[in-house]
Amino acid sequence: MRALNRKLLRDLWRIKTQVLAIAVVVGCGVAIIVMALGTMRSLEETRATYYERYRFADVFAHVKRAPEYLAERIAGIPGVKWAETRVVADVILDVPGMAEPATGRLVSIPEHRRPALNDLTLRRGRLLAPDRPDEVLVDETFAEAHGFRPGDHFFAMINDKKRKLLIVGVALSPEYIYSVGPGVLVPDKRRFGVMWISREALASAFDLEGAFNDISLSLLPSASRPEIIERLDVLLDPYGNTGAYDRDDQVSHAYLSGEMDQLVATATVAPPIFLGVAAFLLHIVVTRLVATEREQIGLLKSFGYGNAAVGWHYLKVVLFVAGLGVVLGFAGGAYLGRLITELYTDLFRLPFLHYRLSLDVFALAALVTLAAAVLGTLNAVWRAVRLPPAEAMVPAPPAVYRRTAVERLEPRGLVGQPTRMILRHIVRWPLRAAMTTLGISLGVAVLVSTLFFFDAIEHLIQTYFHHAQRQDVTVTFTEPSVERVVYEVGRLPGVLAVEPYRAVAVRLRHGPRSERAGISGLEPDAALRRVLDTRLRQAAIPPDGIVLSTKLAELLAAAPGDVLTVEVLEGRRPVRQVPVASLVEEYIGTPAYMDRHALNRLMREGPVVSGAYLQIDGRQEEALYRELKDTPVVAGVALQTVALRTFRETMAETMDIMISFYVMFGGLIALGVMYNSARIALSEHGRELATLRVLGFTRFEALYILLGELGVLTLLALPLGCLIGYGIAWFFAWSFDTDLFRIPMFIERATYGAAVLVVLVAGAASALIVRRRVDRLNLVAVLKTRE
Amino acid sequence: MASAGLSQDRSANERPRGPQGTASGPGRPERRRAFVARGLTKVYGKGEVAVHALRGVDLELFAGELAVLLGPSGSGKSTLVNIMGGLDVPTAGQVFFHDLELTAFDERALTAYRRENVGFVFQFYNLVPSLTARENVALITDIARNPLAPEEALGLVGLAERLDHFPAELSGGEQQRVAVARAIAKKPEVLLCDEPTGALDSKTGVLVLEAIERVNRELGTTTAMITHNAAIAEMADRVISLADGRIAGVRENATKRPARELAW
Ligand SMILES: Nc1ncnc2c1ncn2[C@@H]1O[C@H](COP(=O)(O)OP(=O)(O)O)[C@@H](O)[C@H]1O
Ligand SMILES: [Mg+2]
C-alpha cells in the first residue's frame, strides 16, 4: 500500500497546478460558507445574549400623552411580563464645532433604578446623578463621532428653550444597535445621536409629568404577540397612539435581521455554485486520470489489488484535492469572517462581537464539500473499479467520432480540418462541453450578480437623491403648523424655494390586511419632492385618492381602483374610505402619498403642514443652520447632501470589500474551469498535436486546435453567463426585498462588459500557461510510444 | 523565410554546397545527393548516464532512391532519421538537405522544412482520431503547396473505398496506409518511415510496403525506411546497416525484390 500512496502523491504532484486550481475553487465555496454562516452565527448569538442580558423589549408603542396609571392596566394584559413607560422626544441639537444642526433622540431613564427594559451598557463615565436635569448619557457612536468625553457638553432645543446638556457617560442600548435617524437611509454618526436623560427632567420639559408618550413591553414566552398588540392598541388609542408594533418593525432589530437574511442568502446561493463547479472539475480530472492509467489499473488488479482498493485509491485523489480546498477555505473564510465582523462592529453597536470560529460551521462546510466532491467523481471512480484487469492492459481503442450535424449542412471544404477537429471534439463529449460552458458561464454569472450591487445602489441613488428628493433640506416642525410658518421659513437666509408637506401616521386596511404607514401630503405641483412612476417619470398626484408605493400595495394586496380604509392615528383620528389612485416605485420604505389639501380635508383640519422642503443657496448654509438651530418650531432638520455622502460612505465601507472578493472569486471560477479544460485537452490531444507539429504544423496552428474548443465554449458561455447572472441578481434583489428597502433590478451594460472582460482575461491567462506546454511538447518521444 | 527558398531549390539542378561525398557513395557518380550527413554524433544525457546514440555517422541519400536503414534495436536508426527529418538536432556534426544546412536551422525554420519537404510515417500510425481518412490527408494538403487531392493520395495506397471512415473504423494496416497517403499527399521530396510495419503482421505489412514502394516509384520520392527486419531490406535500392551508433556497412541491391513477394 505504501508504494501505491507514493504513486498517488507523484500523480498529484504531476498535475499540481490543476489540483491547486480546483482546490482554490473549492476554497472559495468553503470560505463563503464559513464566512457567511460563521458571521451569521456570531451576530445571532451575540444579539440573543445582548437582548437577554439587557432585557430588550418585545413590543413598542408611541402615544401623544397617556396617563401613567394606564401602565398598570397594560401590565395586566395576559402574557405581558413587564411594561416600562418612558418619555421620548426628538430635538434639534447644537453641537460645538459643528455647523449643521443634528438630531438628538432624548430617551428618559428612571432616576432611582436601572431601566427594567432596554437597559444600558455603560461604556465610559458614570450613570446620571439624582436631581441633575442637565446630565445626559450619550450613545457611543455619537460620542465617538464628536470625540465627546464625560465632562463635555452640547446644546439642545428642548420645548422652545435652548438648554445646555452635560455628558456624564457614554452608553449602548439594545434598542439602538443600528442607530439611524428619522427619515434617513443609513446611520449618520455625526448628525444623529441617542441620549438618555432623567425621566423627571424630560417629563417636566415636555409637560408630561405623571404621563408618558412611549411604552415598551416584554412578553411571556407563551404570549401571542398579535393579540397583545391588539389589546395594547385598544388601551392606547384614546391617547394619540400611532400603533403598537413588535420587534420585526423595530428599526434596529429589523436592519440586523435583514443583514442576517442577506448572509443566509449569500450562503445559499454562492457555495453551491463553487462546489458544483469544483465537483465537475474533479470529475473531468479523475476521469482523465483513470483513462491514462488503464494499464496501471489492470496491472494492479492482476497483481491482486481488489476493486475496493483501486476505487479507494482514486477516491483518495478526490479527497486530497477537496481536503486541500477545505483547508484553504477555512483559512480564507476565517479571514473574511474577521473582516466582515470588523465592518459589523462599526455598523452595529454591540457591547461585544467576536467572530467565533464555531466548530459545527467548519464541520458542515467540510462535510458538504467532501460530499459534493465524492458525488461528482463517483462515476469516474466507478469506472476504475469496473475495469476488468485483462481489458485494462490493452490500450483503449481510438475514440469513436462522428460527423457533426453542422457539417452535414456545410458544403465540403468551407471548414478546414483543424476547425472540424474542434467541432467533433465538442460533439464527441457533449455533456462535458455543456458542463464546461456552464462552468465558465457561472464565473461570468458570479461577476455579473455581484457587480450588480454597484449598479443597483447607483440607480437607487439616482432615483432617490437626484430625481425624487431634490430638496437640500427637510425641516420637520414640532407640531402641525399653519401655512404661515412655511413663509417664515422661506424668509430664512439662503432659502431659494420652499415646499410644505403634511405627514400623517395611519393604519391602512384592505380586506383582511392592514399595515401601519405614513401618508405624505405633497403639493400637487411639487418641484422639489417628487413622486416617480414605475418608469421613473414624475407622477402626478391626483386631487383625490391615495398613491401607494408598489411594496405597500403588495403588502395590502391592493391595486389602483381598490378602496382602502384609512385610520388616522393622530389628531381627531378620523377613519375614511379612500380609493387607490395609482402606484409608484419606491426603493426605500413603504410610503404613501396624497395631495396635501386632500390630506388636510381627510384630517378634517385647516391648511396645516408638518414641515417643509427647502432648496438653499449653498453659500449661505451656515447662516441658515445657525437660524434653524434656534428656531423653536423646528423639531428636525435633514440635510440631503450630507445624507447622500453618508449613504455613499456606508455603502463603500460595507460593500466594496465584499464585492472585490466576489469579483476575485468569479475570476477564479473562470480561471479554474478554463485552465483545467485546457490541460485536459492537452492531455487528451497531446499526441495528436505532437504528430501535427512533426508534420509541419506551426505552434500557433497546434494551439488553435488545442484551444479552439475552449474558445468556442467560452463564446457560448459569455451570453449564458450574463443571463444566469441576471437571474442570480434577480434572486438577490428578491431575497433582500423587505419593508425597509429594496434593491432595484438594474444592471448596466458596462457591468456585463466588465464581467466578460474578467473572464476573457482568465481565459487568456490559461491559454498562456498551456501555450508554454505546447511549446515544450516532446515531438520525438511521442512517436516512440503507443498511447 | 527558409521555406520559400527550400521549395524553389528542390528543382534546381545545382551541386550541393556541402562537402563532397565519401565512403557511402557507390557507383553512378552523376546521382544527385538529397542528404549529406557528416560526422553526426548524438549523446543523450550527461556524465555517467550519457548514451551515445550516434558516434560519428557519415551518410548520403540520393534523390529518388529507396534506402532501408537496417539495424538492431537501439542502434541509432530512429535518432538518425529524426535528425534528417528536422525533429531532433545532433550533438555534433552537420546535415545538409541539398545545399541547405539543417543543423544551422532554428526551430521555426525546421518546422517550415518539415512542412514543405518531409513526409513522415510512424510505427503507431498517429492518425487524428476525430478526422476521417480523407480528412486526415486533407489536414496536410490544406497547408501544402500544389498537393495531390486527398482522394488521389488514398487511391495510391489502395484505399479509394474507405475515404469516409474514421480511424476507429479501420484496421491497423489500413490506418498505416492512410498514414502513408497523408505523408505523400503533399508530394514531399523526402519520405521518412520509422518501422512502418512494426505494429503489423506480415500480410498487412506487405500492403503498406507496396504503398511505399509505389510512391517511391511513381512520384520519385526519396525514401528512407527504418526496419530491424532483414527481409524487408530486399526491396531497397541500398541497404545501410547501423550498429551501435555507427554505419556498419552499405550494400546496393543488384535486383530489388518487389514488396509483394516479401514475407517474414
Ligand atoms: N530521448 C532519449 N533519451 C535518452 N536516450 C535515448 C533517447 N532516445 C534514444 N535514446 C537512446 O539512444 C539509443 C538509440 O536509440 P534509437 O535511435 O531510438 O534506436 P533505434 O531506433 O535504432 O532502436 C538507444 O540506446 C536509446 O536508448
Ligand atoms: Mg527506433
Helix (H, G, I), strand (E, B) or coil at A607: coil
Mean pLDDT of B202-215: 90
Q: Above 80 in pLDDT, residue B191?
A: yes
What per-residue confidence (pLDDT) applies to A393?
A: 67
Q: Which residues have CB under 6 Å of ligand 1? A: B 44-45, 51, 53, 71, 73-79
Which atom of ligand 1 sits closest to the CA of residue A784?
18
Helices marked H in chain B: 2-9, 77-84, 107-117, 133-141, 150-156, 172-184, 202-219
Name the residue with the closest Cα to ligand 1, atom 18: B78
Please give the distance, rounded to the nearest whole angstrom, from the Cα atom of residue B192 to the centre of ligand 1. 17
Phi, psi for residue A265 in degrees, rounded to 5? -60, -45
pLDDT given at position B199 = 82
Locate cell 417628487: which residue?
A530
Question: Which residues 6+ apart lie within 8 Å of A715 measured at CB?
Answer: none
Cα–Cα distance, A645 to A620 (Å, whole number): 20
Query: Which pLDDT value is given to residue B200?
Result: 86
On the question of pLDDT at B49 being above 90, the answer is no
Residue A414 pLDDT greater than 80, yes or no = no
Q: Are A759 and A469 in contact (CB under 8 A)?
A: no
Considering the entire predicted model, what is its pTM? 0.82
Contacts of B139 in chain A (CB under 8 A): 417-418, 692, 695
Nearest ligand, measured from the Cα of A780:
1
**Do the beta carbons of residue A135 and residue A197 sit within 8 Å?**
yes
A351 confidence band (pLDDT: 50, 70, 90): confident
**Using 50, 70 and 90 to split pLDDT, how confident is the model at A413?**
low
Query: What is the model's pLDDT at position B2?
Result: 37
Homologous superfamily (CATH) of B12-261 is P-loop containing nucleotide triphosphate hydrolases (3.40.50.300)
A721-769 tens-digit pLDDT: 999 999 999 998 988 887 778 888 889 999 999 999 999 999 999 999 8
In this predicted structure, what is the pLDDT of residue A787? 53
Distance, in Å, from the CA atom of B3 to the CA atom of B109, rounded to the nearest integer, reads 7
What residue owns the CA closest to ligand 1's atom 17? B76
Whether the per-residue pLDDT at A292 is higher than 70: the answer is yes
Q: What is the pLDDT of residue B18?
A: 41
- Classify the complex by whether its ipTM is higher than 0.85, answering yes or no: no
All residues of chain A having their beta carbon less than 8 Å from the beta carbon of residue B108 are: 698
**What residues are paired with A153 via a beta bridge?**
A166
From atom 27 of ligand 1, which residue's Cα is the shortest distance away? B74
Cell numbers standing for residue A340: 466582515
Task: Please give the backbone phi and psi of residue A654, each rounded to the nearest 5 degrees, phi first.
Answer: -85, -30
Return the C-alpha torsion angle A723, A725, A729, A734, nearest 10: 60
Residue-wise pLDDT tens digits, A353-409: 777 778 888 999 999 999 999 999 999 999 888 887 777 766 677 778 877 776 666
Cβ–Cβ below 8 Å for A397 and B124: no
Interface membership of B87 toward A (CB under 8 Å) = yes
Using CA atoms, how far apart are residues A650 and A647, in angstroms rounded to an integer?
5
Residues 192-221 of B with CB under 8 A from A: 194, 199
Q: Report pLDDT for A323.
A: 96
Say what the pLDDT of residue B20 is: 41
Give me the residue spans of the domains in chain B.
Answer: 12-261
**pLDDT at residue B15, as a whole number:** 37
Q: Is the pLDDT confidence value at B25 over 60?
A: no
How far lies B66's CA from each of A272, A647, B192, B231, B237, in Å?
Answer: 64, 85, 10, 15, 5
Q: Give the separation between CA B152 and CA B156, rounded to whole angstroms.
A: 6
- Ligand 1, atom 5: closest residue by C-alpha: B44
- Mean pLDDT for A629-641 is 84
Of the listed ranges A196-200, A598-602, B228-232, the least confidently predicted one is B228-232
What pLDDT was estimated at residue B7? 39
Residue by residue, DSSP assigns A322-355 as HHHHHHHHHHHHHHHHHHHHHHHHHHS--S----
A217 with A57: CB under 8 angstroms? Answer: yes
Partner-chain contact B130 A691, CB within 8 Å: no
Nearest Cα residue to A256 out of A649, A655, A740, A744: A740
pLDDT of residue A302: 75
Answer whether B82 sits within 8 Å of A780, measured CB to CB: yes
Least confident of A229-233, A553-557, B106-110: B106-110
- Quick one: which H or E segment has residue A609? strand A608-616
Percent of chain A with pLDDT over 90: 50
Strand partners, A522: A595
pLDDT, mean of residues A324-348: 90
A123 has a pLDDT exceeding 80? yes
Residues with CB under 5 A from ligand 2 (ion): B 78
Residue whose CA is closest, atom 4 of ligand 1?
B44
For residue B194, which ligand has an atom nearest its CA? Answer: 2
User: What's the mean per-residue pLDDT of chain A?
Assistant: 89
Give pLDDT tens digits for B78-136: 999 999 998 889 999 999 999 999 999 998 899 899 989 999 998 888 888 888 999 99
How far away, in angstroms, is B185 Cα from ligand 2 center? 24
From B175, which residue of chain A is nearest by alpha-carbon distance? A398
Where do runs of H (alpha helix) occur along A410-538? 417-428, 430-461, 483-490
Tell how far the Cα of B191 is from the centroid of ligand 2, in angstroms. 16
Checking DSSP bridges between strand A513-522 and strand A245-246, what pairing results, if any?
A: unpaired
DSSP A524-592: TT-SSB--B-TTSSBPPPPSSSEEEEHHHHHHHT--TT-EEEEEE-STT--EEEEEEEEEE--SBS--E
The bridge status of strand B100-101 relative to strand A59-67 is: unpaired
Eight-class DSSP state of A88: E
Amino acid B3: pLDDT: 39
Q: Whose CA is nearest to atom 20 of ligand 1?
A: B74
CB-closest option in A418, A424, A780 to B88 = A780
- Nine cell digits for residue A254: 429589523
**pLDDT tier at A303 (50, 70, 90 boundaries)?**
confident
Report how far apart, in Å, the C-alpha atoms of B40 and of each of A137, A456, B37, B246, B250 are. 96, 72, 7, 9, 17
CB–CB of B130 and A399 under 8 A? yes
A420: chain B residues, CB-CB within 8 Å: 130-131, 135
What mean pLDDT do residues A624-650 have? Answer: 86
Q: Which residues of A touch B (CB under 8 A)?
A: 397-402, 416-418, 420-421, 424-425, 428, 687-688, 691-699, 701, 779-780, 782-787
Measured in Å, residue A290 CA sits from the centre of ligand 1 at: 29
Tens-place pLDDT, residues A415-448: 788 888 888 888 888 888 999 999 999 999 999 9
pLDDT value, residue A537: 83
Q: What is the pLDDT of residues B8-19, one digit of tens each?
A: 333 333 333 444
Q: Determine how many CB atoms are found less than 10 A away from the CB of residue A230.
A: 12
- Which residue among B42, B73, B79 has the greatest number of ligand 1 atoms within 8 angstroms of its CB, and so is best to mutate? B79
- Does B23 have pLDDT greater than 60? no
Q: A162 with A71: CB under 8 angstroms? A: no
Q: Which ligand is nearest to the CA of B71?
A: 1
pLDDT of the residue at A298 = 81
